[in-house]
Structure 1
Amino acid sequence: MNVRGAILMDLDSVKVLYKQNENKRIPPASLTKIMTMYLVFDAIKAKKISLDTKVKISRKAACTGGSSMHLKKGDIVTVKQLLYGMAVASGNDACVAIAEHMAGSEKKFVRLMNEKARRLKMNHTVFKTCNGLPAKGQYTTANDMLALSRNYIMTHPECLTYHNTKQYAYRDYVLRNKNPLLGRYQGADGLKTGWTRASGYNIVSTVRRGGTRLLAVILGANTDTIRAKELKKLMDAGFAVKSHKIAKISKAL
């Protein structure tokens, strides 16, 4: 495959169907937000916060660069709105806002992220930011992102409601999901894209067809077009193997 790292799993049998450079270290970019949202759903489940909990936006959150849900200093938003902002718009500002609310600061929240990563046995991942913005020493692997995403979906299946939303409105802004399979590939219902100059184009994608759910991770495609093309090929091959149309995925890639 024309990517730096990839892995595909059948979540129902927990069988890895394909892997390529699955332990190569690559910056996670906005795939980081999967971990941030995981911790939010953990807190909701533990009744520490709720979807209706109100969050006041700080200057730091509002001024966060990169992809944004267009928060402004002093805004009062709900946790539910921030979850949509993270999942649909990949809002870096939304991540800082929830990190500050839950832990007091982004630095303290990132510590919680790394503690969670260790518990999930993500032994080749280090988070430095809550949103994936570039930071020295921040990296992950396709294998670790698979472990994170698999546990996330299994523990909080309700998260897919946010990840499969194609667009979400905040104020006068219409925020659009960049997942190339949503609405274009049968059964696609998540999960998250990411890009930085250092990482290239990343994606975690999940597709459910009948009794089969596939989970794919692609890291380091050179363009978003290549990312979409390689992801579709990988999913097609995965379903072909499951239906016994082909014996090995590698023959189809």
Structure 2
Amino acid sequence: MRQRHFLNLLLAGALALPVLSGAARANPVVLFDLKSGMVLEHQDAFKRWYPASLSKLMTAYVTFRAIAAGEVALDSPIKVTKHSAGEPPSKMGFKPGSVMRLDNALKMMLVKSANDIAMAVGENIGGSQAAFADRMNAEAARLGMVGTHFVNPNGLYSPDQYTTARDLAVLVTALRNDFPQYAPWFSIEGLAVGKKAIPNYNLLIGRYAGADGMKTGFVCSSGFNMIGSA
């Protein structure tokens, strides 16, 4: 069986190769093998960091758990609220009252990194942003993500939304092991929504042989963030 390595980079994507080659490094990084759990490379793995849109991986995990528990289904309706529609870019820009299937909402969240859709998913499943954040934190605690705290489902900056490279490694391990049926969603090259073609923000997908995930993100407080897998 082909081994899958997860490269968790909380830095500009252009620095990925220097990190692997042992050149000058900056910002937290963890490289590990999913099958064995062996850490192959790390730096500042326990340093507190703002996760930006990598937070959407926990939004996906909480949602997958809700589906498994029978709370919602892939075809459950997700309604865009006034609050979610007002979230800043990256976003789909749907008007309040717009409705879509949950599976389509999750794909837009993962491919486009749509902040409005992530918020809509959280509000529809949790009942409110705060209630969904409570569920995110409960899952983080259950998984042993001891250096992580969430206040929103999309990763927009808050001083109270933080994580570590080590904790994100725990999360992606849980995503892959607990819900392997959704693995293809993290390697979608793009979506067609109406007449719009939406490419994946993860530029490794479709360009780097073997790349199959997982998420990128950016906020000014931490710069470019990436979790890549191959």
Corresponding residue number in structure 1 for 2:107: 84
Corresponding residue number in structure 2 for 1:248: none
Corresponding residue number in structure 2 for 1:217: none
Corresponding residue number in structure 2 for 1:124: 147
Secondary structure at the aligned position of 2:212 is classed as strand
| Distance across 2 between alignment mates of 1:35 and 1:170 | 24
Give the aligned residue type for 1:144: D
| Distance across 2 between alignment mates of 1:20 and 1:200 | 17
| Distance across 2 between alignment mates of 1:170 and 1:61 | 19
Please report how far the alpha carbon of residue 43 of structure 1 lies from its aligned counterpart in structure 2 after TM superposition. Answer: 1.1
Give the aligned residue type for 1:132: G
Please report how far the alpha carbon of residue 104 of structure 1 lies from its aligned counterpart in structure 2 after TM superposition. Answer: 0.8
Corresponding residue number in structure 2 for 1:112: 135
Secondary structure at the aligned position of 2:153 is classed as coil
Corresponding residue number in structure 1 for 2:218: 195
Selected match of 1:67 from 90, 112, 116: 90
Corresponding residue number in structure 1 for 2:117: 94
Corresponding residue number in structure 1 for 2:209: 186
Corresponding residue number in structure 2 for 1:220: none
| Distance across 2 between alignment mates of 1:3 and 1:165 | 29
Give the aligned residue type for 1:14: G
Please report how far the alpha carbon of residue 77 of structure 1 lies from its aligned counterpart in structure 2 after TM superposition. Answer: 0.5
| Distance across 1 between alignment mates of 2:180 and 2:229 | 12
| Distance across 2 between alignment mates of 1:96 and 1:127 | 13
Q: 1:69, 1:90 within 8 Å by CA — same for their partners in 2? A: no
Question: Are residues 1:14 and 2:37 paired?
Answer: yes
Deviations 1:154-192 (A, max 9, x none): 111122221111111223332221112111222111100
Corresponding residue number in structure 1 for 2:54: 31
Segments of 5+ residues of structure 1 without an aligned counterpart are: 208-253
Identity %: 37
Task: Write out aligned runs for 1:206-245 (5 A).
Answer: 206-207=229-230
Give TM-score scaled by structure 1 length: 0.79
Question: Are residues 1:44 and 2:67 paired?
Answer: yes
Segments of 5+ residues of structure 2 without an aligned counterpart are: 1-18, 20-24
Max radius of gyration: which structure?
Answer: 1
Q: 1:117, 1:125 within 8 Å by CA — same for their partners in 2? A: yes
Superposition RMSD in Å: 1.1
Please report how far the alpha carbon of residue 47 of structure 1 lies from its aligned counterpart in structure 2 after TM superposition. Answer: 1.6
Selected match of 2:199 from 176, 190, 193: 176
Aligned residues: 207
Secondary structure at the aligned position of 1:119 is classed as helix
Question: Are residues 1:152 and 2:175 paired?
Answer: yes
Secondary structure at the aligned position of 2:53 is classed as helix
Give the 4+ runs in structure 1 shifted more than 6 A: none
Secondary structure at the aligned position of 2:94 is classed as coil
Q: 1:69, 1:175 within 8 Å by CA — same for their partners in 2? A: no
Give TM-score scaled by structure 2 length: 0.87
| Distance across 1 between alignment mates of 2:217 and 2:29 | 14
Secondary structure at the aligned position of 1:188 is classed as coil
Give the aligned residue type for 1:4: N
